[in-house]
Amino acid sequence: MVILDTETTGLEPEQGHRIVELACVEMVNRQLTGRNLHIYLNPDRDSDPEALAVHGLTTEFLSQHPRFEQVYQEFIDFIEGAELIIHNAAFDCKFLDAELRRVGKPPVRDLCEKITDSLLYARELHPGKRNSLDALCERYGISNAHRVLHGALLDSELLAEVWLAMTRGQDALLMDFQEETQSVSSGVGGLPSVDTSVLRVVRASSEELAEHQVYLELLDKAVKGECVWRRLEPAPDAVAAE
């Protein structure tokens, strides 16, 4: 699993906007591995003032870094075959697809195993509430006090913590089930072993058996034949043997 985030020069790649920062953090078995990919990119253009106010990455700073066409293979190698967790995946994917298209590569969905939008997941989990990354950090008690500006690596790491918090219930259910099954000794078919010698057997009285026969006769009339329970009754010889 790879948690991914980008920062861009604006809102629309169709208007020539580009990715200026790309970050991926790897998670295996619900643990961050410490293996990350973090790249600043030269977009060969200025950021819109609104975008610059969000990420603070100036044209002068970005001009010192590689262009996407110089590092795209490193990105592909990192995400290939992985499930991607992206907050508002439609936004990031349209920029990634535009960058990949420029270097003659297929869209990101064809390069990874699966894309999961954590924003859509959060909206299903918390309908009618704010589900921005900041709002989710506050809801789950995850400190983002150091997040003055947006940054792809920092946001990816925060999203990883948020994702673990949002999906913790699924993991807890599985752990509870495993602990419960491990706490009992297994019998046939994985069921707990039971000492049948201590079980009390309560047999039906003659009055209860008579009421049962009356009920079966009513069922016979309802189905205009022999009801299925007749086939389950023990044979007379078996009853006598008891």
Domain borders along the chain are 2-170, 199-233
Phi-psi region of 62 (alpha: psi -120 to 50; beta: other; left: phi over 0): alpha
Nearest CA among 1, 30, 17 for reference residue 165: 30
Contact 20, 64 (CB under 8 A): no
Contact 138, 162 (CB under 8 A): no
Q: Considering the chain, what is the average pLDDT of its residues? A: 85
Dist CA 186 CA 226 (whole Å): 40
CATH fourth-level superfamily of 2-170 = Ribonuclease H-like superfamily/Ribonuclease H (3.30.420.10)
- Predicted confidence at residue 234, as pLDDT, reads 61
Contact 113, 81 (CB under 8 A): yes
38 catalytic, yes or no?
no
| Catalytic-labelled residue, pool 87, 126, 150, 212 | 150
- Predicted confidence at residue 200, as pLDDT, reads 66
pTM of the complete model:
0.68
201 token code pair: 């057997």
Contact 65, 43 (CB under 8 A): no
Contact 99, 72 (CB under 8 A): yes
Find where tokens 């509430």 sit: 129
Per residue in 76-119, pLDDT tens?
999 999 999 999 999 999 999 999 999 999 999 999 999 999 99
**What band does 197 get if pLDDT is binned at 50, 70 and 90?**
low
